Chain A
Amino acid sequence: MDLLTSVLNGFSVALEPANLFFCFLGVLSGTLIGVLPGLGPLAAIAFLLPVTFYIPVVPALIMLGGIYYGAMYGGSTTSILVNIPGEAASVVTCLDGYKMARQGRAGPALGIAAIGSFFAGTLGIFILMVLAPPLARFALIFGPPEYSSLLFMALIIIAYIGSGEKIKALMMVALGVALGMIGTDQISGNARFALAIRELQDGVGIVPVAIGVFGISEVLLNVEILLRREVIKSKFKGLLPTLRDYKDSWAAILRGSLLGFFIGILPGGNPIIASFISYGVEKKVSKHPEKFGHGVIEGVAGPESANNSATSGAFVPLLSMGVPNNAVMALMLGAMIIHGVVPGPQLMDNAPQLFWGIITSMYIGNAVLLALNLPLIGLWVQVLRVPYRILFPLILIFCLIGVYAINASKFEMLLVVIFGVFGYVMRKLDYEMAPLIMGLIIGPMMEIAVRQSLLLSKGSFAIFITRPISACFLALCLVILLRSFISILRGRGRLPEAK
């Protein structure tokens, strides 16, 4: 069966009214859950999975896909409106998205996030369709050494993300990495820094920390302003992105989509990392990097696209080989099995109806997402009109509910509060929180990758250079560092300016 026939077949399945209905239902419920701070695709799918048991296979899987995309998008809504990440992958959106909202441009921010996500998701699905098996094989070539170098590059890029002092950003990264050390070490099984508190054996979760340092601290900071004087509300400058916005963002969207997809197919590939790297890349290639962090639309377009296409990318190993890349995909795998589908290398051949039905429904899911959310922008933006003294208790409650809903852990509640206060203090001292989150995520991943690499090479560091892909990444790092170094030297007048 050639590609076109398969796709058309798939569409005929996906466009059946029942399936369309469940797709819509999935996208809607996913978005609503994703909007709650701390609850992302994982939580949304976990909650709604039992609902899907009562409907047949194809609509069930379509609905799950819709939930996934919906939750990813929902997370960016709160990031933009109130500077609280709806879920970990939306942390980066807070940086510029919220600033745009403060400038009265919440509508365009939400709009470009939706449009960018749609484009990225669609592009990702397209690539998935055409190239799934070879991509999956390529992704397998990525082993611990390649991973280590990629993550190392990500750490270097972090230095560019912050808009404040570089040294403070690096200090926060270091703190994040240190926090990431807490927990049971995967390789030796030892519990590290757990201080005999059982909950710490799993480590400090990203969600309590992110909600604390972004959400709670934001509320504390704002309340302080509130007590001193009324928050100045700017006029709304339009609800949709302007032509100028599209012009500025299309390149960012394209870059973000490709970058995100690539990172998504890797084992452990994470939409969070994709969004951070996209932000770093956008800032680096921008003609006005100093404006980042103050409300630049590329800072929203790029990362939002990246995290959506990473989502599509994450399906590649699952659909082509039956191996899940991350926790959400594992959940999808479980859902598929319960419904009688066993994904494996033969899924495409054994159940083409299902395979193509799922893929085409992902297109439809993305389209529904866009159609659903653009009109809702007007509604979301009204949230900003609510007086802050009514809004902030609600925000606090939602944050706490979001964190509790994940693990039902009272300890994590305590963590949220502790990090909330910590975040408040640090932000008053002009330390940025995004690098902290980045360090917390990347630190442990990189540590494991490096140690595995050394185990594979029996202790030889040469493995990072002898493996071609790894060497490429390291070379890239070198280039980035050299360029910075040169521009520092130029700035100090030690090197002649380029002619």
Chain B
Amino acid sequence: MTAHYLQGRYAEGAVPVAWVTSGFPVELLRPLGFHTVYPENHAAICGVKRLVTTLAAAAEEEGYSRDLCSYARTDLGSAFTGQTPVGRLPRPDLLCCCTNICQTVLYWYRALAERFRVPLVLIDTPYVYGEAPPHRLRYVRDQLEEAVRVAERVARRRVEPEELREVTRLAREGSLLWGECLAMSQSRPAPWTGIDGFFHMAPIVSLRGTEECNAYYRMLRDELADRVKRGVGGIREERHRLLWDNLPIWFWIRPLATLLAEHGFNFVCTSYTSAWAEAGRRVDPLDPFGSAAVAYTHVILNEDLRHRLATLSRLAREYRVDGAVLHSDRSCKPYSIGQVDLRQILSEELEIRVLLLEADHSDPRSFAAEAGENRLMAFMEGFA
């Protein structure tokens, strides 16, 4: 990831640069030689580095509401001020936005397009109730084909079908490898923690469709498999296994990890990290556009609550968890809506303890650490 951001410093003028949302089928841009920047990933780095308050304030001064997603405010603030913890972000030649994660990205990328005066390609993915009907998938597929034509014009070269098949194959392989890494935690004790997963997910999000990404996960999988074989856990003593729903609390991740580990609790699975193992496996090198339409329409945030519930229940069973923490994320409304019902249904159907924890993925001003810790402690005491 360091190399990726380092390359970014020298990308401008050398290769075409695209800024993309985390749910965009980035692999389709790979053959054109784009250096890709993920504003969301960048905002998460700002969160861990505790720069959000400064950057978000810059966006708020420009009139953006504090009720907006803190990722959006952080990145707009970074664009307005030029401040970033990664040295320098290359200016985009193309903006790629897919609404499968939320509608906020649409307005966020429009603001970026206005600022940078570059083309914006938008993939609008209709919300899915059950399974997406063929005409909607066709609609998404048509947009994907058009997006690649725009990207070709920006990059000034054409994509060969063979190249698309190859990157799609790589993307699929990467997602499957990531899935294998996550599945290692079905062992007892889990060889790593869900919090480790939040950090190791960066390549599958940002470098999907590259051999570097896949090499990374082969190495990670082998190391985890070795730990499983030797019975080495992610924490010293795993007494209770938990599921985490929603994004991490980036700025509070260390206190959270310490608090849990001290009491023998491990997040062995998270719906968030799993999302990148779920969608990518549906892409198919034989039909890059058609399969991408299916894969990127059926992502957890673009599917109904019934699907969310089924996903959480399945994870809870596969990873044999004793409890779940649903992070009610002030910044991510699509992920947080319905959690009150999810909480009740999960606790009744699976007979597990479920905690609703109010926080924010990156704005510390929307989080009361004392109250948060109190809730978690009380939740953990309940297992005694």
A and B: partners?
no
By a beta-carbon cutoff of 8 Å, the part of chain A in contact with chain B is: none
